[in-house]
Structure 1
Amino acid sequence: MKFNVGSTDRVLRIIAGLVLIGLAASGTVGVWGYIGVVPLLTGLFKFCPAYALFGLSTCPLEKK
């Protein structure tokens, strides 16, 4: 699997995911907040299926 999520994008996804899950767990936003699992997992695995589908990547280009 080729990585397509860069470092800044990765950090933002992990933070957003944790915040959403935390808000859902505390009852602040309701059950829909558990959608935070998606950005959390894409940040942890450095791979986003939506990016792959559209041919996008936030990873820096590798030098040859």
Structure 2
Amino acid sequence: MFKTNVGSLDRGVRIVAGIALLALAASGHIGAWGWLGIVPLLTGVFRFCPAYLPFGLSTCALKKP
């Protein structure tokens, strides 16, 4: 449905950061804002970031012709 715009390194960072935020929120180390970790987790899993669209950004590797 959507074109992939999250590259491999970006994807890994998003997934790790999302899991870390969710774990910290679940364990009570940080407040409710930690539950926003679901956003980077989902954008990493689905390899699509809607915030990149208005700027035409993509962290995917360029394909060689």
* Structure 1 runs not aligned, ≥5 long: none
**Normalized against structure 2, the TM-score is what?**
0.93
Question: In structure 2, what is the equivalent of residue 27 of structure 1?
Answer: 28
Pairwise CA distance, 1:54? 1.1
Q: What is the DSSP-based 3-state SS (H/G/I as helix, E as strand, rest coil) of the residue aligned with 1:62? A: coil
Displacement of 1:63 in angstroms is 2.6
Structure 1 length as normaliser, TM-score? 0.95
User: For each residue in 1:5-43, what CA deviation from the matched residue of structure 2 results, as whole angstroms up to 9, or x when unmatched?
Assistant: 000000000000000000000000011100100000000
Alignment of 1:37-56 (within 5 A): 37-56=38-57
Number of matched residues? Answer: 64
Q: CA RMSD in A?
A: 0.7
Task: Quote the sequence identity (%).
Answer: 64
In the alignment, structure 2 segments of 5+ residues that lack a partner are none
**Counterpart Cα distance in 1 of 2:40 and 2:54:** 16
Distance 1:53 1:24 in 2: 30
